[in-house]
Chains A and B, each alone.
Chain A
Amino acid sequence: MKRTFKTLVTSMVAALVVSTTPVRAEDTIKVGVLHSLSGTMAISETTLKDTMLMLIDEQNKKGGLLGKKLEAVVVDPASNWPLFAEKARELLAKDKVAAVFGCWTSVSRKSVLPVFEELNGLLFYPVQYEGEESSKNVFYTGAAPNQQAIPAVDYLMNEVGVKRWVLAGTDYVYPRTTNKILEAYLKDKGVAAEDIMINYTPFGHSDWQSIVSDIKKFGSAGKKTAVVSTINGDANVPFYKELGNQGVSAADIPVVAFSVGEEELSGIDTKPLVGHLAAWNYFMSVDAPANAEAIKSWHTFIKNDKRTFNDPMEAHVIGFNMWVKAVEKAKSTDPTAVQKAIIGVESPNLTGGMSKMLPNHHITKPVLIGEIQANGQFETVWKTEGLVPGDAWSDFLPESKIIEADWTDALNCGNYNTVTKKCSGQNF
């Protein structure tokens, strides 16, 4: 019984490992795709897998890389954090992939990190995250807090005149770290402690009645109030519904969200949400030739012109193009050579700028503030002048202000303490 169960599980796992048929294995460069295709995160990650397949397909049509065809190796870590590490090991040790594009949640990234450092692999991580990390083996193509949260708060403070802040988040590492940074930043800007309300809710929280009523009360103290929301994915829908039902409109108390993109809005009736804000580095509605082209090829590839294109997908586009350029520059897919070559590589982003890989393994990105429209898209209402370089270690937390990340030969460290002059906390 036990044995048959085990074989059953093994064969099920094997069946989940979808891989395009390897024609002549030695003539291809393998690219790992590590995104959940089942479980809770499938909602967000499946599209990223499709984006990668599209990019690899396009690159092959252009003649491949270094004269070889690219081959996608897709695995399904099933929204299960330890399984992420196992699958990452499988990709690096067994399939010998040249680079991996994957992960969504911070906890999944933390789970694979030791594997990538041990086996010297390359991971391109496309999602906005809380920062406070820089690994030799990871390239962070999503936004660091200074590329999303801080500009959004600046916008609310300077353009909207917000004086009172609700920091609402789901109870896990990304909101907690981001809110810690934001709280320090707000206090730095002279906001009094009683003008900041911090609230955490469990994953998938669906009963927002008392919290929304608290926010309403907090907002009736004579000062313009805004909610900075790091509420994760699914829980946003009932939150916005409750806001609408209790009559809190965006004009009275705007909510700026860091985890709500076009993909998430496609599952919501957006009419009561019009005017609430989101801060991203990309919006599907941006009027730029590169964007129109990307959306067109996405719609052709997925054979559905209703599908949305979002920020993490753009991050994968940038990350993939940077990797391709770095491999061409290094004339090899060897991880160590690519790590050296990729720093300073530039690749166009879809909003009309040129993103650059920085020595701290983060990239430069524009920051856009958009208002939700009735058609489920965002309309840009504000954008930063030029691109913002990603900062791995926040300058607003006393303990990480003194830490620097630089993977060029000058420092070659992701966690360098400028006071003690020591590199610590990481294998490299």
Chain B
Amino acid sequence: MSLPYAFRLLRSLAMLLALLCAARIALAETELPLAALQGLDFKAKAAAISAIADSGSPRAEAILNALTDGRLMLRKSDQRFVIIAAAEDPATLTDALDGSALGSEPLAGLKKIVINNQLRLQLRAELARMQLANPDPHARRAAVEALAADPTPAVIASLVEAAPKEQDEDVARAMQVVIGLAQIGDADPAKRLEGVQAVTGSMLGEVHNRLTQLVARNPAGEPLEPSMDVRIAAGAALRAIDQRRARYELIQTVFFGLSLGFVLVLAATGLAITFGVMGVINMAHGEMMMLGAYTTYVVQQALPNHIEASIFIAIPAAFLVAGLVGIVIERGIVRFLYGRPLETLLATFGVSLFLQQVVRSIFSPLNRAVATPQWMSGQLMVGDALALTWNRLYIIIFSALVFAALLALLRFTALGLQVRAVSQNRAMARAMGVRAGWVDALTFGLGSGVAGLAGVALSQLTNVGPNLGQSYIIDSFMVVVFGGVGNLWGTLVAGLSLGIANKFLEPFAGAVLAKILVLVFIILFIQKWPRGLFPQRGRSAEA
């Protein structure tokens, strides 16, 4: 909000602050206007929040924090305001006003104090103001940046006061930026110019917003900002930000592409084994991923207090579950159908429908909620404008590890040697004493197990429901065929290039068209090079 008179009124504001201090003393703790927080009158609530924040009460911060998190409740039995420790039933209560413990109470006996988005913004600003005195410089800086969204005169006055005393350089800089933002709203062009200069170089979202307004024109094409100097300075600052953003954006698009690519690779690696190495058109591949995702869900249900670690248990569990189901499918169905691709396709398609309906009957047709561990949510800030989300980063790493492990397994172990031998020449391998049937079962189990691992990763990205597999089966086949059947490296290159191509097309073609373009490209590519990017050469190609 722009308040041009902020600085002129500084002195009267100081007086106001003094008055507020007086009000603090006058407002005894029991007089915090909590009653106004009830009901649906959000204007009254906003006023009450301001009053609580300005009261100087030692309970103010606890109350506002609880209100933000939805932990401030009204006990129905005695209409007393309480704060619950966590959303559990029965909840542990403390009195909102004096902080004394009040034992526990079932949630049914409590009524939550409702807030809306506007109040959330207000609470964020009020809490940030309280955090300005926090001894931790990171907390102070976060508080200052939170205040940039809506710098009220009172906020600016306290920042002007605090800035010269600030020891930490980053925090002081952030304070200058917020003060500068307020100055941009001043009536005096010189002050506005000063404000623009103060914010130049900052990558804060609000700075960009504010500068955009300065260079904006009205529908008649006349500039909204009267001062030429201010416009020029704002334009230059804006261009600098935009250039910097454009650089980051390129990196970000590559990251998006890589992360989509690695999800595709992860989903396709299992198929690269069952379809690529063994030649089984496995339509139930997607359902193996689904089983992996459901295993993650079951593990989380079994260990409700260890969500953070549950993923590490889910990874081997999903591999085993999907792998075992894969072996059962191979021994029970697929082994009777080798060399008859059409029948295999139909049979595994049947298996996929069967597995979907089984999951629907056991877990209900509704999606299941798989919680994301804390260490996987949020984003990693590189510099001040490049943000990479943690879950994608972890999935890239996980996918790369799975791929490397699989490659090593096929290359350096006895099983890997036998798998390659059987897939190249079954009769010869058997003549050399390889138990082809046993190798088939293990290979299919391995491919299915890897699909299960993909399921664990997907449970962190998308819905865990009976249809999870179907949405990935087409993409998986696409990647394997594009990369060249029977070639793991091909799968990697194909997955990554499709992912990156998709993400570069998406911004200007839109998600729907980008997908169509990629599919058309693949059709044309397969027409010209039916064996994919890295075709099998030599004798093995005939097998």
Contact A269 B369 (CB under 8 A): yes
Contact A209 B512 (CB under 8 A): no
Interface size class of A (residues with CB under 8 A): 35 or more
Contact B118 A43 (CB under 8 A): no
Main secondary structure of the interface of B (DSSP, over half): helix
> Is the C-beta of B471 less than 8 angstroms from some C-beta in chain A?
yes
Chain B residue nearest to A219 in the complex (CB): B205
**B124 contact set on A, CB distance < 8 A:** 251
Interface size class of B (residues with CB under 8 A): 35 or more
Contact A241 B461 (CB under 8 A): yes
Per-residue CB contact flags for chain A residues 201-233 toward chain B (1 = under 8 Å, else 0) read 110111101110110000011110000000000
Q: Among residues 267 to 289 in chain A, which have CB atoms less than 8 Å away from a CB atom of chain B?
A: 267-269, 272, 274-275, 277
Contact B369 A267 (CB under 8 A): yes
Chain B residue nearest to A159 in the complex (CB): B118
Complex Cα spacing A272 to B118, Å: 17
Complex Cα spacing A274 to B87, Å: 14
Segment of A53-61, A320-328, A368-376 in the binding face: A368-376
Contact B70 A373 (CB under 8 A): yes
> Is the C-beta of A246 less than 8 angstroms from some C-beta in chain B?
yes
Complex Cα spacing A381 to B540, Å: 67
Nearest Cβ distance between residue B51 and chain A, in whole angstroms? 21
Per-residue CB contact flags for chain B residues 473-496 toward chain A (1 = under 8 Å, else 0) read 000000000000000000000000
Contact A221 B209 (CB under 8 A): yes
> Is the C-beta of A260 less than 8 angstroms from some C-beta in chain B?
no
Contact B465 A234 (CB under 8 A): yes
Contact A202 B515 (CB under 8 A): yes
Contact of A42 among B360, B379, B471 (CB under 8 A): B360
Q: Please judge, given known A-B contacts A209-B503, A269-B372, A375-B87, whether A246 and B512 are in contact too, CB under 8 Å.
A: no
Contact of A275 among B117, B205, B249, B372 (CB under 8 A): B117
**B389 contact set on A, CB distance < 8 A:** 209, 242, 245-246
Q: Among residues 26 to 45 in chain A, which have CB atoms less than 8 Å away from a CB atom of chain B?
A: 38, 40, 42-43
Chain B residue nearest to A266 in the complex (CB): B366
Per-residue CB contact flags for chain A residues 121-160 toward chain B (1 = under 8 Å, else 0) read 0000000000000000000000000000000000000011
Contact B467 A210 (CB under 8 A): no
Q: Among residues 87 to 111 in chain B, which have CB atoms less than 8 Å away from a CB atom of chain A?
A: 87
Per-residue CB contact flags for chain A residues 231-247 toward chain B (1 = under 8 Å, else 0) read 00010011001101111
> Is the C-beta of B42 less than 8 angstroms from some C-beta in chain A?
yes
Contact B391 A267 (CB under 8 A): no
> Is the C-beta of B192 less than 8 angstroms from some C-beta in chain A?
no
**A237 contact set on B, CB distance < 8 A:** 367, 462-463
Q: Among residues 348 to 381 in chain A, which have CB atoms less than 8 Å away from a CB atom of chain B?
A: 371, 373-375, 379-381
> Is the C-beta of B282 less than 8 angstroms from some C-beta in chain A?
no
Q: Please judge, given known A-B contacts A209-B256, A209-B260, A268-B369, whether A238 and B117 are in contact too, CB under 8 Å.
A: no
Nearest Cβ distance between residue B199 and chain A, in whole angstroms? 13
Contact B510 A199 (CB under 8 A): yes
> Is the C-beta of A90 less than 8 angstroms from some C-beta in chain B?
no
Per-residue CB contact flags for chain A residues 84-109 toward chain B (1 = under 8 Å, else 0) read 00000000000000000000000000
Contact A247 B253 (CB under 8 A): no
> Is the C-beta of A65 less than 8 angstroms from some C-beta in chain B?
no
Contact B357 A200 (CB under 8 A): no
> Is the C-beta of A46 less than 8 angstroms from some C-beta in chain B?
yes
Q: Please judge, given known A-B contacts A210-B506, A375-B87, whether A201 and B512 are in contact too, CB under 8 Å.
A: yes
Contact of A207 among B260, B360, B387 (CB under 8 A): B260
Contact A245 B467 (CB under 8 A): no
Nearest Cβ distance between residue B143 and chain A, in whole angstroms? 16
Nearest Cβ distance between residue A80 and chain B, in whole angstroms? 13
Complex Cα spacing A213 to B253, Å: 10
Contact of B209 among A214, A220, A381 (CB under 8 A): A220
Could you write out 16 A-B pairs with CB less than 8 Å apart?
A40-B467, A43-B365, A201-B511, A205-B511, A206-B462, A210-B253, A211-B506, A222-B208, A222-B210, A234-B367, A234-B462, A234-B465, A266-B366, A266-B369, A268-B369, A381-B116
Sorted nearest first, the 8 A-B pairs with minimum C-beta distance are: A267-B367, A222-B209, A245-B389, A42-B365, A209-B256, A206-B462, A251-B120, A201-B511
Contacts A42-B365, A207-B502, A209-B260 aside, 16 further interface pairs with beta carbons under 8 A come to A38-B360, A38-B365, A42-B360, A43-B365, A202-B511, A206-B471, A207-B263, A213-B252, A220-B208, A238-B462, A245-B378, A246-B389, A267-B368, A269-B369, A269-B371, A269-B372
